[in-house]
Amino acid sequence: MPLIEMTGVGKRYGTIVALHDVSLRVNAGQITCVLGDNGAGKSTLIKIMSGLHQHDEGELLVDGEPARFGSPRAALDRGIATVYQDLAVVALMPVWRNFFLGSELTRGFGPLRRLDIDAMRRTTRDELARMGIHLGDVEQPIGQLSGGERQCVAIARAIHFGARVLILDEPTAALGVKQSGVVLKYVAAARDAGLGVVFITHNPHHAYLVGDHFVLLNRGRMRLDRRRDEISLDDLTREMAGGDELTALTHELQRT
Partner 1 sequence: MTRLLARPELGSVVGMVAIFVFFFAIADPFRQATSMGTVLYVSSTIGIMAVPVALLMIGGEFDLSAGVNVTASALTASMLSYQLSLNVWVGVVASLLFALGVGFLNGFLVTTTGIPSFLVTLGTFLMLQGANIAVTKQVSGQVATDNISDMDGFDTAKAIFASSFDVGSVTIRATVLWWLLFVAVGTWVLLRTRPGNWIFAVGGNVDSARAVGVPVRQTKIALFMGVGFCAWFMGMHRLFAFSTVQSGEGVGNEFIYIIAAVIGGCLLTGGYGSAIGAAFGALIFGMTNQGIVYAGWDADWFKFFLGVMLLFATVLNMWVRRLAVRR
Residue in 6, 24, 40, 138 binding ligand ADP, rule: CB under 6 A: 40
Nearer to ligand ADP, 43 or 179 (CB): 43
58: left (phi over 0), alpha (psi -120 to 50) or beta: left
CB of 170 to Mg ion, least distance (A): 6
204 binds ligand ADP (CB under 6 A): no
Pick from Mg ion, partner 1, ligand ADP, none: which does 13 bind, CB < 5 to 8 A by kind? ligand ADP
If one counts every other C-beta atom within 10 angstroms of the C-beta of residue 125, the result is 19
Give 85-133 as a DSSP string: TT--S-TTSBHHHHHTTTS--EES-GGG-EE-HHHHHHHHHHHHHHTT-
If one counts every other C-beta atom within 10 angstroms of the C-beta of residue 8, the result is 12
Pick from Mg ion, partner 1, ligand ADP, none: which does 17 bind, CB < 5 to 8 A by kind? none
Q: Is 177 helix (H, G, I), strand (E, B) or coil?
A: helix
CB of 3 to ligand ADP, least distance (A): 22
Residue in 6, 9, 18, 152 binding ligand ADP, rule: CB under 6 A: 18
208 and 230 in contact (C-beta within 8 Å)?
A: no
Pick from ligand ADP, partner 1, Mg ion, none: which does 21 bind, CB < 5 to 8 A by kind? none
Interface positions with ligand ADP (CB under 6 A): 13, 16, 18, 36, 38-44
